[in-house]
Amino acid sequence: MTRLILIRHGETRWNLQKKYQGHANPGLSATGKKHVRALAARIKDLGIDGLYTSPLKRARQTAAILSAKTGFKPHPDARIKELNFGNWEGKTAAELIAQNDKNFRSWLEGQWKTPKGGESLAELNRRVRAFLKDCVKKHKGKKIAIVSHGGPLRMMILLALGLGAQAFFSFGLEPATFLILNLDDFSRSQIGRLRALQG
């Protein structure tokens, strides 16, 4: 069985302002760093065997704090970057509604719409699925920490549960929290059977 410890990066100023971050690169806030330091002690106690991170700044800073506690060097992987939100990045939901962005209104209704200049959820699905497949194959029977973002982490959970597309909008992780997936199988349609513990 492979245990994946899914970690959302710490809080940024844009999180507080409720702005879409996507591929934009804000760093952790002072509060975000404090929360990640507290999280690091809990992750260390889990006895991990490796550490992956999104290459975006907020994830790399989170992984660096975890690395200092665990001793594991973070391995960046672009497949677990946040969804590219295109022209939504740096804007709040209120701003996008005021601009009458039709794709955004559809997004709020739970539809898989792509922001102008951004990435589709189908594209996110493909890259996250490829990452999970490689990770489970390479680290069979290990405990692997993965520092990523709301979108990719939701997708990992969706894939693990074998849920449909609409479920993507049904759950999420707060900054500097984690969730554990115990994966004991892999197939094209489903990453594995899930037993999850909220951190």
CB 194 within 8 A of CB 182: yes
Q: CA 146 to CA 41: how far, in whole Å?
A: 16
DSSP string, 178-194: EEEEEE----SS-S---
The 3-class SS string of 83-137 reads: CCCHHHCCCEHHHHHHCCCHHHHHHHCCCCCCCCCCCCHHHHHHHHHHHHHHHHH
Residue 197: other Cβ atoms inside 10 A: 10
CB 77 within 8 A of CB 63: no
| Side chain identity at residue 2, one-letter code | T
Among candidate residues 9, 35, 89, 119, the one labeled active-site is: 9
**Any idea how long the chain is?**
199
9 catalytic? Reply is yes
82 catalytic? Reply is yes
Among candidate residues 82, 89, 119, 149, the one labeled active-site is: 82
For the annotated catalytic residues, the residue numbers are 9, 82
